[in-house]
Chains A and B, each alone.
Chain A
Amino acid sequence: MTTPPPDGLEPVEASDPGFWHLRESYTFDRNVIAEIRRAANTGIYRIRGWGAKRHLPTLDDLVFLGASMSRYPLEGYREACGTDVVIGEDRAERPVHLKIPVTIAGMSFGSLSAQAKEALGRGASAAGTSTTTGDGGMTEEERQHSSTLVYQYLPSRYGMNPDHLRVADAIEVVVGQGAKPGGGGMLLGQKITERVAEMRTLPEGIDQRSACRHPDWTGPDDLEIKIGELREITDWQVPIYVKVGAARPYYDTALAVKAGADAVVVDGMQGGTAATQDVFIEHVGIPTLAAIGESVRALRELGVHRREVKLIVAGGIRSGADVAKALALGADAASIGTAALIAIGDNDPAYEAEYRDLGTSAGFWEDFQAGNDPAGITTQDPDLSARLDPVLAGRRLANYLQVLTIETQILARANGKSHVLNLEPEDLAALTVEAAAMAKVPLAGTDWVPGVG
């Protein structure tokens, strides 16, 4: 927080004509000034969650064309429109069957309260989809409340236990995360409670900075051997995913396929549940929109697209429109993190007074690392986390997932598709030149794809 103005003086209101001669600098706006003052006061970089906040080209810059003379739509509520996705049927004894093309992204117990993890498990299970562990191991509660649970295998290996590996429904080898491709997670001292410290074998109360690189493999050739080991240890029962932050999606996807992944998870820079350095969040990685097409191109060239290797896209997915557009561009499923937290109660305006006490406001709460979340989600404080009713919060998430799914079906039917995975790039047009170039679909009203012919 910055020093308030002296008594009796209120900050300038833009609506007051008496101040209309003042022109705020685009380069040094008040937000920039506040950050420079904060840095000068504390000597430490800014840490936060909530993903890239700057304006980015997004899936909103695409529209569906819908049905017209040459193709007919399907009747809503009458004609079937499938939504199921299967992952790993080629190699795993027990492939993952998802009823809907939306999954819950990895978030750890530790970063989230036990109640929040339970709510995610309940909501996802009711909707027929999977949840994912995070950097900190698997809890009993989490396994119990998630019918399909993906176990993350991370650089830090906090809480990594082969027994958990064997009871998981899939394993996700995390190479990187959209918020911070190339960076490790951060959890500040208040959240390293006795239970979290014990699960991670760390001293209680330390400011944890997780490893950013796996300790026992470097590069795709090693990863292939590592995936072989994971398959041997789990007797080839479950699918293995590889998660990468959106950095070089064409090459990263091709290398993940070569390493033997059953699914590639590509996480764009809008991915927001990771708490890390602001400079990392805003300046490393590429937008989700720009990553999808490149991953799909790699899968197509290798002949595995929509076949042996599935593509899961994450990073700023908010609506059925986002899901449908990601699928149309070639993803097999979309994954949500921040949106799921909002659905269960993150940034709830009901706690406005408490947000104000913390120097923020509902809609701006982003200190996921700090542990004092008024909504009881990104905290280990027993009183705060007790505020979240996991049953009701789970119901909210199930409702939200249902809306995402039905919205996706609405758009698929409008384009004449009897399964959401039949959506294709030909159903889309771009509203901006940037989006046309990134997604490789024509600019609306033209047949022009920048960079292609």
Chain B
Amino acid sequence: MKRLFDLAQVSRRELNQALHDASDGESFEVTNPRGTHAVACGITAEIDVVVRGSVGYYCAGMHQRGRVLVEGNASTGLAENIMSGRVHITGNATMSAGATGCGGLVVVGGNAGARCGISMKGVDIVVGGNVGHMSAFMAQAGNLVVCGDAAADLGDSIYEAQIFVRGDVESLGADCIEKEMRPTHVETLSRLLAAAATVPAVNGPDPADFRRYGSARRLYNFTIDDVDAVARAARERSEQERDTRAA
């Protein structure tokens, strides 16, 4: 049985408390979200939540278990720091979708704005359309799949996360390079596309059309010179040569 929460009638606090107190297997439907922030954040039970309409910041923030489906758009920080489970919006997401996510799957049916997947730590993000500038900035682990184009500075200062883009990449950020698509990457990508496939926009893309991007690993350690050591070695060499000549 589905429990109904009309946010025109009940407060966000009542909704979120009910979600936090829910037991595994329960279903919820939320109507009239009207851009409310922090809707369905902090879910810890294996539940299903459908939100009919657009939400504000931090929808499904720190999501841990269960599934949240938003029929509409989401503002900043959709599913930020998601640990596991699934968060899925049919429309567009603004900035920092899936930011710092540690696990689970975030699906954006439309476009995602700037810094999609910033500092991601293991989450998988599938975007049906385009992503904004500086997406996957400082991304540490996980996969960002972009079925459309990526704006400037993709993957700037990226660590071990992987980025797959089907369309054009405006420019790559510092230390981000294109990498070879090996069979294992095709496999990962196919799995993610299949997992996200309830969104029409991402039904069908052929993994072979994607290119892979990741870290050149040139920023992992500081470059530290040691001129003194070079000078010392040169001095020792000339002393040795002098000794050899003397002998």
Contacts and interface: CB of A to CB of B under 8 A. Distances in A.
Interface of A: 3, 40-44, 156-157, 160-163, 165, 188-189, 200-203, 205-207, 211, 215-217, 222, 225-226, 228-229, 232-236
A149 B37 CA distance: 28
B41 A201 contact: no
Ranked nearest first, the 9 interchain pairs of A and B with the lowest CB-CB distance are A233-B42, A216-B77, A229-B38, A162-B62, A157-B100, A216-B96, A43-B225, A201-B121, A215-B118
A222 B80 CA distance: 14
B58 A226 contact: yes
Contact of B57 (A41, A188, A225, A235): A225
8 contacts: A42-B226, A157-B121, A162-B64, A203-B160, A207-B222, A222-B57, A229-B41, A235-B16
Given A202-B140, A203-B220, A217-B76, A41 B118 contact: no
Contact of B122 (A40, A165, A201, A211): A201
B33 interface: no
A156 B137 CA distance: 12
Nearest to A2: B228
Question: Which of A40, A205, A228, A234 gathers the greatest number of chain B CB atoms within 10 Å?
Answer: A228
A209 B157 CA distance: 10
B174 to A, nearest CB: 12
B12 interface: yes
Interface string B47-61: 000000000111001
B64 A201 contact: no
B221 A207 contact: yes
Contacts of A160: 81, 100, 102
A163 B76 CA distance: 23
Contacts of B42: 162, 232-234
Given A42-B226, A201-B102, A201-B141, A216 B80 contact: yes
Contacts of A206: 159, 220-221
Nearest to B97: A216
B83 interface: yes
Given A165-B62, A207-B222, A215-B115, 14 more contacts: A41-B225, A43-B223, A43-B224, A157-B100, A160-B81, A161-B83, A162-B64, A162-B83, A201-B102, A202-B140, A203-B220, A229-B61, A232-B42, A233-B61
Nearest to B215: A203
Interface string B182-195: 00000000000000
A165 B42 CA distance: 10
A215 B56 contact: no
B interface: dominant SS: loop
Contacts of A233: 16, 38, 41-42, 61-62
B140 A201 contact: yes
B17 interface: yes
A215 B115 CA distance: 8
B34 interface: no
Interface in B109-126: 115, 118-119, 121-122
Contact of A3 (B12, B37, B76, B228): B228
A41 B222 contact: no
A216 B100 contact: yes
Contacts of A161: 83, 102
B227 interface: yes
A410 B208 CA distance: 75
Contacts of B237: none
A232 B119 contact: no
A207 B224 CA distance: 12
Interface in B94-148: 95-96, 99-100, 102, 115, 118-119, 121-122, 137-138, 140-141
Contact of B13 (A3, A201, A232): A232
B179 interface: no
Contacts of B115: 215
B12 to A, nearest CB: 7
Contacts of A229: 37-38, 41, 57-58, 61, 77
A110 B229 CA distance: 31
A216 B75 CA distance: 11
A399 B159 CA distance: 44
B224 A157 contact: no
Contacts of A189: 221
A41 B61 contact: no
A181 B67 CA distance: 39
Given A162-B81, A215-B119, A226-B58, A232 B41 contact: yes
Interface in B210-247: 220-228
Contacts of B102: 160-161, 201
B62 A41 contact: no
Contact of A232 (B12, B44, B76): B12
